[in-house]
Amino acid sequence: MKFLRVLLLFCLLGFCLIGFVFSQESNWQNFKGKHFIVLYQSSADKSEAKKILRSAEKYYGSIGRKIGYTRYSNFWTWDDRVKIILFPTKELFLDQTGQPEWSRGGALDIGFSGQKVIVSYAGQSQFLREVLPHEISHLVLSDFIGLDHKIPIWFSEGVAQLGEEGKAKKAELVMRMMIRLDRYYPLRSLARIDIRKEKNEEYVELFYAESVSVVDFLIKKFGSDAFGRLCRKMSDGLSFEAAMKFVYQGMLSSYSELEKKWIQYLNH
Ligand SMILES: [Zn+2]
């Protein structure tokens, strides 16, 4: 269940956290980049904070390109830079965010203020390869589509995992096996799941693997530009299914057609 230990915090929880950080910002040290500011408390975390900033700037470009967000390079500069808050310990992180024990990090986008924040804690071995790109991807997607529009959870989690190194490849292998065993979610069911309420770890694992596998299929099969157009149609207010029908005309007209082509692709 390693790859599931990432939580999207979005919205309400953020207000107290932001208040906390701003009220105590003088106690925090920081590294500032073009699009990110890494805040850390303990001098022991200085070199980790520096590495995080370097990686975040790298992911900023690569994630945008992958999902076809081409007008991207001028976002998140100066006052709009994303704050990455690195608590010195997991205990402090959990205490200040109220997140469940298994959480490793989160992202939140405070729409009216434009403030975007990633919160996590120091000393995680897979932070740079998993947590950081996952949370940056959530923020890139919400920037692209907009907070006013409902992004389906599977779609958001699928895109978020695309940024994680090796995740899509692993999910493809898992899904090939699960399809052979006929143990996967029909895509219309996948689209209805609110995974934040799911307690069964196997279902959660399947949800995440399937989500990234489908998103990865769309990009590998039809390209990043078409995927970018799909996101833009969703940002215009179309549902995922309507946007898909519009962008992939004649090829994908419904969830069931997407499911059929995705399975064909995995079995090729
Ligand atoms: Zn996520």
Architecture per CATH, domain 2-145, reads as: 2-Layer Sandwich (3.30)
**pLDDT > 60? residue 10:** no
Residue 217 pLDDT: 98
How large is the angle between the packed helices 167-180 and 255-266, nearest 10 degrees?
A: 100
Rounded to an integer, the average pLDDT of 47-76 is 88
**pLDDT > 60? residue 11:** no
Q: Residue 47: CB partners within 8 Å, gap ≥ 6?
A: none
At CB < 8 A and 24+ separation, what contacts does 188-191 make?
Answer: 188/255, 188/256, 188/259, 190/154, 190/214, 191/152, 191/154, 191/240, 191/255
Going from the Cα of 118 to the center of ligand 1, the distance in angstroms, rounded, reads 12
Portion of the chain with pLDDT greater than 70, in percent: 88
149 vs 4, residue with greater confidence: 149
Question: How many Å apart are CA 105 and CA 137, to the nearest integer?
Answer: 13
Question: How many Å apart are CA 251 and CA 188, to the nearest integer?
Answer: 17
Domain boundaries defined on the chain: 2-145, 153-266
Q: Residue 116: CB partners within 8 Å, gap ≥ 6?
A: 76, 80, 82, 83, 107, 108, 109, 110, 139, 143
pLDDT tens, 170-194?
999 999 999 999 999 999 999 999 8
- The three-state secondary structure class of 154 is helix
At CB < 8 A and 24+ separation, what contacts does 58-63 make?
Answer: 59/132, 59/133, 59/136, 59/137, 59/163, 60/35, 60/36, 60/136, 60/140, 62/163, 63/133, 63/136, 63/137, 63/140, 63/162, 63/163
Q: What are phi and psi of 93, to 5 degrees?
A: -60, -50
- DSSP letter (8 states) at residue 247: H
Going from the Cα of 103 to the center of ligand 1, the distance in angstroms, rounded, reads 11
Average pLDDT, the chain: 87
Confidence of residue 24 (pLDDT cuts 50, 70, 90): low
Going from the Cα of 228 to the center of ligand 1, the distance in angstroms, rounded, reads 19
Q: Which two tokens stand for residue 102?
A: 């298994």
In order, the DSSP letters of 63-77 are HHHHTT-TT-TTSS-
Q: Say whether pTM exceeds 0.75.
A: yes
Going from the Cα of 51 to the center of ligand 1, the distance in angstroms, rounded, reads 22
Going from the Cα of 60 to the center of ligand 1, the distance in angstroms, rounded, reads 16
Confidence of residue 79 (pLDDT cuts 50, 70, 90): confident
CA angle, residues 202, 132, 19, in degrees to nearest 5 = 105
